Amino acid sequence: MSGLKKKLFKVTKPQIFKITGNIFLTFLLLSPLFIFLGGMYLYQLSFSVNKDPFVQFSGYDPRSEVVIAWETKDLEDSIVWYGISKNTLNVNVTDSKLIRIHKIILLNLQPDTEYFYQVGSIHPSLNLRSQIFTFKTAPNNTVTDFNIIVYSDSQQFIGIGWHKRICNTIAKHDQISFVANIGDLCQNWDYKPDWNQFFKESSIYMKKYLFVPCLGNHDGFYHSDDPDGSKHYYKQYFNATFTNNRFYYSFNWSNTQFIVGEISTTQDENINLPENIQHDLWLNQTLINGQSKRFRILMFHRQVFSSEGNNDNLISRIIPIVEKYNVSLVLYGHHHHYERFIFNNKTYICLGGGGGQQFGSNYFKTTPYTESFTLGPSYTKISFTSSQIQITSFSAENDILDNCIII
């Protein structure tokens, strides 16, 4: 019997050559893919840790307060010079701590005012100063027309995607009050090259407009092996006013209330059940306080309706709140396509076309509530007047994909 086994399992030289040849042929056929993926990996690593300054106000009042943030490769102190004239940056705020991710809070700003600013180091020997950038504060309880741009899911796998095309097109717009990215800014929350690429690509519009961030499930995890927060980059870049890992906030702009929530059915970007209850209490109270505004806009990351799959838990949890407090528009992402819905005369929009990979087998089985559906790169401009909201969604080449009005 042992002799038979030897005979059965003996591999001849021709078979070895055949197996080796098949392996070589397979590698040869796949080598362009390996070269491409390796090149993209190196491409991501090429982005500098140094980041141009950007302005955000998550948790502050955009009429009079903003946060200016930037990053340096080396430990440095921080200073922001600013003023209402590009040639006269006559006010400054400093922080002597030696840090890499810098955040300076500007207070007591004038509403509806364009400011110019420059960042750098206090230490004169370093002589580190950025270019001069600009931002404009929100109006002070006056009803003015304004425009915003919103998109989601800018995440890119190994840097592969179309986020740069989206950013370049956004930057071509004028008269934009702020740009909001409603979650999954990056593919990997704790991988610095992802964030380096995101900020490099976004800097083209961040130089012009205020930035409104929203936490997505790829942007940070509450129950991660990161007790000191050293890898929670979303928290480091955007946690200007957050305490106890809460990333929800609201603000008013003209006649509109904006609510940026943490609404999920998992612990990825949402807090545990007791905090979940607290979040919903906050959400209800915030909407009560916003009833004097003409419009109320709710933004969060996880999908409610989607052709890739509705979220029944969020439908039962969020829709009663939307209808009770007359929320004008609900914006979210998570599923990587554009889709607009009308449910009980309320508009819900999935804005997941901001980055790259699109998956799912049900994209062409739209829901009974679907009004518009598009695959591929997309972003959305929303224009507010005293009486209506106009929603226009674009491709990366600025072709109009969808258009509607909410009164």
pLDDT tops 50 at residue 1: no
Top-level class of domain 146-406: alpha beta
CATH architecture assignment, domain 64-136: Sandwich (2.60)
Q: Count CB atoms within 10 A of the CB of residue 407.
A: 6
Query: What percent of the chain is predicted at pLDDT more than 90?
Result: 66
Q: What is the pLDDT of residue 242?
A: 66
Residue-range domain boundaries for the chain = 2-45, 64-136, 146-406
Cα 163 to Cα 111, 150, 196: the distances in Å are 32, 13, 13
Burial of 221 (0-12, 13-18, 19+ CB in 10 A): middle
Between CA 328 and CA 351 the distance in angstroms is 16
What mean pLDDT comes out for the span 229-253? 81
Confidence of residue 39 (pLDDT cuts 50, 70, 90): confident
Q: Whole-model pTM? A: 0.88
Residues 362-384 pLDDT 10s: 666 789 999 999 999 999 999 99
